[in-house]
Amino acid sequence: MQVVRDALVAVADPETAAVLERYFQVRPGGYGEGDHFIGVKLSTIRSLVADQREVAFVPADWLDLLRSSVHEERLAALVVMAERATRGPDPERQLIYETYLASTRWIDNWDLVDVSAAPVVGGWLLARDRTPLYRLARSPVVWERRIAVVATHRLIRAGQTADTYRLAVALRADQEDLVHKAIGWMLREAGHRVDQDELLRFLDVYAPELPRTTLRYAVERLPPDVRRRYRHLR
């Protein structure tokens, strides 16, 4: 999609790129090591690709961006895929889902996951078998595990929380902080949007085993005395 690439280049800003590279840890040893930013914020990217929301997704048009070495190009492709995954007919949504799962090696930072996993993966699996979530959760790749967790945000919005809790149990010993944060975020959303009592029952059992970051995120919307009680259990 050369028109999108040209639009990104036209608004790229080196100072913004430097800020983004620090924020997304492209330094040696950082989780974004080796990534390349040109300096375009997500809000700007959304504006640049707004007209693509009405156009059916064709993989051949987007794969160059989705698999680009430039972070913002990958992000632009994922924004479009996420939008079409909420608007398109089932054959298009399935195509987006399959293209996405075939391209996870390029979905390699938390912003890329968070902008896309719920509408693309969670949206497709909403009325389907959830086995793919657990396959992703068993992946040695941190971003695929995060995709599994964040995808459940779409299920939560539909009032379905079982997979969020099951994944939280399955991944409670995960070693990656970015997975801990995703689990805590989804637990918090499940309690806030669907059933706080269900979250409390879960925490009564698992709070002592949850990573500190997961627990901190999970209890954020609970009353202060309740937060303190669960943190004490941890």
With cut-offs at 50, 70 and 90, classify the pLDDT of residue 234.
low
Residue 141 phi, psi dihedral angles, 5° rounding: -95, 120
Residues in the chain: 234
Here the contacts of 158-164 (C-beta below 8 Å, separation 24 or greater) are: 158/126, 159/193, 159/194, 160/126, 161/190, 161/194, 161/195, 161/198, 163/130, 163/133, 164/189, 164/190
- Specify the pTM: 0.94
CA 4 vs CA 75, 80, 83, 145: distances in Å: 11, 11, 15, 29
Q: What pLDDT shows up at residue 95?
A: 97
| Closest alpha carbon to 77 in 46, 32, 108 | 46
Q: Are 56 and 88 in contact (CB under 8 A)?
A: yes
Contacts of 136 (CB under 8 A, 6+ apart): 121, 144, 145, 147, 148, 151
The string of pLDDT tens digits covering residues 127-163 is 999 999 999 999 999 999 999 999 999 999 999 999 9
The string of pLDDT tens digits covering residues 187-216 is 999 999 999 999 999 999 999 999 999 999
For 87-103, what is the mean pLDDT? Answer: 96
Rounded Cα distance, 4 and 67, in Å? 14
Residue 151 phi, psi dihedral angles, 5° rounding: -60, -30
